[in-house]
Structure formats: structure tokens, C-alpha cells
Amino acid sequence: MLSVARRPLSAAVPVGNLLGIHLFQCPDTVGIVARLSECIASRGGNIHSVDFTYNPMLWPRDVLRTDFLNLSQHFSAQRSTVRVPDLDPKYKISVLASKQEIPLFSHACALLFTFSQDHCLFDLLYRWQEGRLPVDINCVISNHDRLKDNHVRRFLERHGIPYHYLPTSPGNKREQEILELVQGTDFVVLARYMQILSEGFLKAYGKDIINIHHGLLPSFKGGNPSRQAFNAGVKLIGATSHFVTPELDAGPIIEQMVERVSHRDTLQSFVVKSENLEKQCLAEAIKSYCELRVLPYELKKTVVF
């Protein structure tokens, strides 16, 4: 496996040049690096670490694509993907998100506070608005309704992003309607979407779906896992972002983050730390995926460059 794509996209690029990203996966053999390097150098490009810059006047986008296609055929590559962020369109995504108001109680059984599952969704919307995620959001789909004066609904309306409320039941997950809404997207993001997508849906969509969940599984399942973990006195919490597969929460892992907690944490600070990890972990997973830095292999594994 070889990736010509690791320098952060914010790194300086020589004037007149563009940053190109090439993800290349093929059986191991002698000469892979040499041939890729020769291809880039012969077109006036330059390799920095394991990414490359090039002059689009000397190496037009269509020629670049053809050159790497020829290399992929020569090495019988399973995957050869090229992106030029400054020229290529952004990835189109749809976001599926639930909204559950979850009450948390103190030991004295008094209501401490409630929180919803909107934190990941709103964080994605905010990062998108700030230009910090290289995506265009096609629509937001939820199985829980939000009032029109809800902060999420107001944000979506202000930016012209359609919102679709599709209530689900155990006998109807509305998958056919969801499938129609996500057609034309490059991948789908589950921002705390508390529903299981069937194998039939995954096959029909046929593209990647990225999920986020807390890192308290499998010890704390079901409702209020944060309260369960808090009461159990855990010392380390985390978040995991992964590809969705038919096996629940078992897809190849893209990103994981952890943070220590202690006896000084209250239940509320515990939840806030957990939510912050989920937001950061999901955003980093999406960014890595869009920069072609995620390479799945061996069914349940990934290489993240």
C-alpha cells in the first residue's frame, strides 16, 4: 500500500502550483515508489514527504488522471484515486441525526439536567459554515422532529439545507425514503443517528457511511451510558468513528480519541467531556476521509496516513 497524500492541506504550496493527493493500493512488488516518483517528476511535479505539488499548466488535470490510471493498470491496483482540492468539487454528503432528550438524575433522584443528541450535528454544521470541512451538505434527515424555531432548523433554513423528518418505528425504518434522499451523495454521515441500518440498505446505497459513537461500549449499553459509566467510576472515556457495516458498531475504525476523567468530575462535566470527544472524533474522521488518508483493508482494518 502506498499513499501519496499526507501533508496537511493547509501547508504552504509553491506559487503557481497545486496540491495533488493520490491514494494508491496494489499488491506489493519492486518498483512501485520508483515508478510513482518518476511519473510525478517527469511532469514537473515535486514530492514533499509523501504528497506532491505540481503546475497545472505543465500537467493538466485530465493528463494527471490518465497517467495515474496507466500506473494503476501496470501494478494491478485495487484502488487509485486522485484528488486536487483546489480544482475538484467538494464531496456531497447527507447527515442522518436523531434528537433524543435524555434526562440525567443525581444520586438523590432529582433531575440534574437534560441533553440531546444534537451536539455532533450542530458541530458539523458549524465547521461546515466556517469552511473547516471540505464537504457540501445535501440534506439533514432525522427520525425525531424539531420545532421550526429550533436552533438546528433555523441554521438549516438560513443556509438553504433541506431538513427531512422521517419518523421511524420498529416495523418501518423508512429506509427506502432515506435511500432516495441520499442518492447523488459521495458518502453519508451518521451524527448520533440512533437507528440500525439494514444490510439491504447498505448494499443498495453502495457507498461509505461514517458513524460516531461513544467509547463506553461494550461495557455500558442501552440508555444513559454516560450515567452508567459515571456511576461505575471509569477513569478513561473516549469516542470512536468507523465505517458502517452490517455488523453493529464493528466496521473498520477511522478515528478514536480518549480523555481521562476522575472523581472530581460531576455527571454534567463527564457528559460534556464525552460529547466534546465525539464531536472532535467525527470531524477528524470526515476530514481524513475527504483527504484520502483512510485506506480500508482486510475487512475490519484501516490504514490512516
> Does residue 102 carry a pLDDT above 70?
no
Phi, psi for 137 (deg, rounded to 5): -90, 115
For residues 133 and 280, membership in a common domain is answered with yes
pLDDT confidence of residue 116: 56
Instruction: Tally the C-alpha atoms within 13 A of residue 206's C-alpha that lie toward its C-beta.
Output: 4
Q: What's the mean pLDDT in 54-60?
A: 93
The whole-angstrom separation of Cα 40 and Cα 52 is 8
Indicate the residue among 73, 99, 125 that finishes a domain: 99
5 — pLDDT class (breaks 50, 70, 90): very low
The whole-angstrom separation of Cα 145 and Cα 163 is 10
Tally the domains of the chain. Answer: 2
For residues 69 and 214, membership in a common domain is answered with no
Joined grid coordinates for residue 118 = 444534537
Residue 48 domain boundaries? 17-99
For residues 42 and 157, membership in a common domain is answered with no
For residues 92 and 124, membership in a common domain is answered with no
Indicate the residue among 99, 131, 150 that finishes a domain: 99
31 — pLDDT class (breaks 50, 70, 90): very high
Between 131-135, 149-153, 265-269, the lowest mean confidence (pLDDT) is in 149-153
51 is catalytic: no
Considering the domain boundaries, does residue 197 fall inside one?
A: yes
For residues 114 and 170, membership in a common domain is answered with yes
For residues 288 and 186, membership in a common domain is answered with yes
The predicted-structure confidence for 238-269, as pLDDT tens digits, reads as follows 999 999 999 888 899 999 999 999 999 999 99
For residues 145 and 285, membership in a common domain is answered with yes
The whole-angstrom separation of Cα 277 and Cα 226 is 13
Considering the domain boundaries, does residue 243 fall inside one?
A: yes
For residues 162 and 211, membership in a common domain is answered with yes
Q: How many CB atoms are located within 10 Å of the residue 38 CB?
A: 12
The catalytically annotated residue of 51, 86, 249, 265 is: 249
Considering the domain boundaries, does residue 9 fall inside one?
A: no
For residues 229 and 89, membership in a common domain is answered with no
> Does residue 113 carry a pLDDT above 80?
no
For residues 85 and 166, membership in a common domain is answered with no
Indicate the average pLDDT of the chain: 87
Q: What's the mean pLDDT in 20-38?
A: 90
- The CATH number given to whatever domain includes residue 198 is 3.40.50.170
> Does residue 106 carry a pLDDT above 90?
no
